[in-house]
C-alpha cells in the first residue's frame, strides 16, 4: 500500500530500532512500528513489551491514553512515553523523540523523526538561469543552481554562495533540523534601505549523505522573495507549513 493513508496507518519496520536515554538503551527491538498519525511523516511506536517497565513511571491517564515519565537513574523525561489503551493503537507505546538523547535505525543515527519510506529526496544539477530579489534588490544570480526535489514539498533552489550577494547576508542564530538533509543554519538579509528580512536564507554546512550536493549552497524562501527562472517571474508558492 502506498500513501495517502487513512490515519492511523501502521506498518512494521524491518529494522532494529534503539532509543538511548541517560546512557541506557531503553528500547532495543526488531519489531518497531511506523505509524502515520498525520500525513506528513510517521512516528515510531513500540509494543508495550519492548519498553521495559523498569524505565516507566506512571504520570497520568486521560481517556484511552496512559502517560509515563521515563526514568533512568537520576534522569527523568516527564510524560515522554504514551501508551494507547484502546482503538487501533491499543497496546502500543510511543516515545517523545526530542526527549531522548539519540535514536538509531540499525547503527545509523536518526534525527528529528523517522524517515518516511515513501518519501524521496533528489538533488539535480541544473543550468536554468535563476535570479532572486527582495524589494527590488538582487540577492542572487546564477546559471548553476542545484534543484532539490523532495516528495510532497515545493522544489527548492540551492545557489552557490559565489553567485550571491554575501555582503547582504547576516548570520542568524536560528537552526533547524531535517532527517533527510541535516542541520540548517540561517541568514537574515539586510538591504541599503535599512530593512532586514529575518531567516529568509538557509544552508547546510554538513548535509546528510543523500543531500551532499547542496553542501555550502544557499536556498531562499521562495514564499518571501521574488524569483525569476529563465526570465519568467515565478508565482510565490504557498508555504507547506502554513
Task: State mean pLDDT over 54-80.
Answer: 95
Q: Let me know whether 97 and 23 are in one domain.
A: yes
- In a domain, residue 65? The reply is yes
What's residue 152's pLDDT? 85
Whether residue 97 is found in the same domain as residue 140: no
Query: Where residue 188 sits, what CATH number does that domain have?
Result: 2.170.150.40
**Cα–chain center distance at 192:** 34
Q: Is the peptide bond before 241 cis (omega within 30 degrees of 0)?
A: no
Tell me, what's the pLDDT at 64?
92
1 pLDDT band, cuts 50/70/90, is: low
The last residue of a domain, from among 71, 87, 110: 110
The answer to whether position 67 is within a domain reads yes
Examine the domain organization and report whether 75 and 146 are in the same domain. no
Where is the domain boundary, 110, 136, 161? Answer: 110
Average pLDDT of the segment spanning 25-30: 98
3-state class of 210 per DSSP?
helix
242 in a structural domain: no
**Model confidence band, residue 242 (pLDDT cutoffs 50, 70, 90):** very low
Query: With bands split at pLDDT 50, 70 and 90, how would you rate the model's confidence at 7?
Result: confident
Q: What is the mean pLDDT of the chain?
A: 94
The mean per-residue pLDDT over the stretch 152-175 comes to: 96
C-alpha cell, 130: 535563476
Are 24 and 97 contained in the same domain? yes
Residue 241: which pLDDT band, with cuts at 50, 70 and 90?
very low
Provide the residue range defining the domain that includes 208: 121-233
pLDDT tens-digit series, residues 182-208: 999 999 999 999 999 999 999 999 999
Query: Around Cβ 93, how many Cβ atoms within 10 Å?
Result: 22
Comparing CA positions, the residue from 48, 42, 59 lying closest to residue 97 is: 42
Final residue before a domain boundary, out of 110, 131, 161: 110
DSSP structure class, residue 164: B
What does the pLDDT look like over 76-88, one tens digit per residue? 999 999 999 999 9
Residue 133 in this model has a pLDDT that exceeds 60: yes
The model's pLDDT over 103-118, given as tens digits with 9 standing for 90+, comes to 999 999 999 999 999 9
Q: Which residue has the cell 537513574?
A: 73
Strand order in the sheet with 226-229: 137-142, 130-134, 226-229, 232-233
Confirm whether 150 is domain-assigned. Answer: yes
Percent of the residues in the chain that have a pLDDT greater than 70, as a whole number = 97
Domain count of the fold of the chain: 2
Q: What is the pLDDT of residue 2?
A: 59
Give the residue among 221, 145, 217 at the shortest CA–CA distance from 181. Answer: 217
Q: What share of the chain in percent tops pLDDT 90?
A: 89
Query: Is 2 a member of any domain?
Result: no
Amino acid at each position: 500500500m502506498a500513501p495517502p493513508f487513512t490515519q492511523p496507518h501502521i506498518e512494521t519496520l524491518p529494522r532494529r530500532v534503539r532509543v538511548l536515554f541517560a546512557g541506557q538503551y531503553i528500547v532495543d527491538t526488531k519489531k518497531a512500528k511506523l505509524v502515520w498519525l498525520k500525513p506528513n511523516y510517521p512516528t515510531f511506536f513500540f509494543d508495550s513489551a519492548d519498553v521495559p517497565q523498569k524505565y516507566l513511571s506512571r504520570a497520568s491517564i486521560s481517556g484511552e491514553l496512559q502517560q509515563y515519565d521515563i526514568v533512568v537513574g537520576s534522569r527523568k523525561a516527564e510524560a515522554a512515553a504514551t501508551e494507547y489503551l484502546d482503538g487501533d493503537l491499543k497496546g502500543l507505546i510511543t516515545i517523545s523523540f526530542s526527549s531522548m538523547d539519540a535514536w538509531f535505525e540499525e547503527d545509523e543515527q536518526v534525527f528529528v523523526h523517522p524517515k518516511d519510506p515513501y518519501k524521496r529526496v533528489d538533488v539535480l544539477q541544473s543550468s536554468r538561469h535563476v535570479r532572486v530579489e527582495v524589494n527590488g534588490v538582487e540577492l542572487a544570480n546564477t546559471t548553476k543552481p542545484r534543484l532539490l526535489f523532495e516528495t510532497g514539498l515545493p522544489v527548492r533552489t540551492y545557489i552557490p554562495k559565489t553567485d550571491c550577494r554575501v555582503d547582504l547576508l547576516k548570520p542568524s542564530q536560528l537552526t533547524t533540523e531535517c532527517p533527510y538533509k541535516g542541520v540548517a543554519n540561517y541568514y537574515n538579509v539586510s538591504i541599503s534601505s535599512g530593512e532586514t528580512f529575518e531567516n529568509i536564507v538557509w544552508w547546510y554546512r554538513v548535509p546528510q549523505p543523500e543531500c551532499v550536493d547542496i553542501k555550502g549552497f544557499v536556498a531562499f524562501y521562495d514564499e518571501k522573495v521574488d524569483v525569476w527562472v529563465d526570465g519568467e517571474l515565478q508565482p510565490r508558492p504557498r508555504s507547506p507549513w502554513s
